[in-house]
Amino acid sequence: MVDSSAGGKMSAHGGGGGGRTRVGRYELGRTLGEGTFAKVKFARNVETGENVAIKILDKDKVLKHKMIAQIKREISTMKLIRHPNVIRMYEVMASRTKIYIVMELVTGGELFDKIASRGRLKEDDARKYFQQLINAVDYCHSRGVYHRDLKPENLLLDANGTLKVSDFGLSALSQQVREDGLLHTTCGTPNYVAPEVINNKGYDGAKADLWSCGVILFVLMAGYLPFEDSNLMALYKKIYKADFSCPSWFSTSAKKLIKKILDPNPNSRITIAEVINNEWFKKGYQPPRFETAEVNLDDINSIFNESGDPAQLVVERREERPAVMNAFELISTSQGLNLGTLFEKQTDSVKRETRFASRLPANEILSKIEAAAGPMGFNVQKRNYKS
């Protein structure tokens, strides 16, 4: 799932190096994406060998922005969502400083890449992805979850080419539904955002998400955006008026459906139920088949428990491994046998160093270094030491 807040492509292999970080039963690999509140890392379950993605949230940032209640509610809802077209959330863990959300890893890249490489999709292919997108959005709306930032970059593909919506319910953590039943936070990517969201007078999350789905369908079939302008205010004017035209290669029925979805008036805009009953949409449509399994939310409740039972917390620890080195790498570690000058032009080089100064006594500095280095697996050696 990757966040659109922590976007980036997910691949099915971790990084290298001489050591790996372990969190619970998961071994962390390379960073897949990074955002304001979160970082997403590749990980492997060492017990089962399964590859997953782990979203890591900083507890201090969560507390600072008073987001605990919102995150707990959103994570609980996401864990309840089991749909073939939404990235699955497996479990939640926490250390003293971080929250770890373990999610399904998808390896087929972004749908955006498919558009970028082909220019545009054939109408039947675009319809297939649009059907899966609507299935996911409709299911999540039925559980009170709204994405608020739907765009091709947030639509991933698994190894079989099945569409997976990422970050559903986690992409806009700070938003709240007010007493009037509407959302009031302007968010999302401007080109995909509904006019009522920009208006800042409150909007229905389901209707706003459907507008974004309409823009995505247009992009899949056209290969370009329906609303585009380098000037942001000019772009907003086009969105307010739904000032766009469909290319000649769109079928008549596709044009009609897109115009009903991209209706600037949310009250007269077509609904998802009406989209599913539309003749163009129904062509070759296969409703998703899946079973609703029992879900345990104990891990979420324990992590956000105010008492903070230490037994429930995981520890992030680094496990050092012997580095695999070839002969040249081994030789180059010795300053007297550095072969770099045989292959590189001699230039004035600057040695990269880190220095620090402190007013504390040397004994106190060294004891702090030893205390910090010990738990990380380092050995501290003192040479020619004078206090």
Instruction: Name the residues annotated as catalytic.
Output: 149
55 annotated binding-site participant: yes
Q: How many CA atoms lie within 13 A of 157 on its CB side?
A: 15
Find the length of the chain: 387
Strand partners, 52: 43, 104
How many Å apart are CA 108 and CA 106, to the nearest integer? 6
Tokens 């029992």, residue?
294
Under 8 Å between Cβ of 86 and 136: yes
Strand partners, 183: 177, 203
How many Å apart are CA 80 and CA 140, to the nearest integer? 10
How many Å apart are CA 187 and CA 207, to the nearest integer? 15
Q: How many CB atoms lie within 10 A of CB 120?
A: 17
Contacts of 141 (CB under 8 A, 6+ apart): 205, 206, 209, 272
Print burial letters for 181-192: b (CB count within 10 Å at least 16), e (below 16).
eebeeeebeebb
Under 8 Å between Cβ of 316 and 98: yes
Print burial letters for 238-251: b (CB count within 10 Å at least 16), e (below 16).
bbeebebebeeebe
Q: Residues at the annotated binding site for ATP?
A: 55
Q: Residues at the annotated binding site?
A: 55
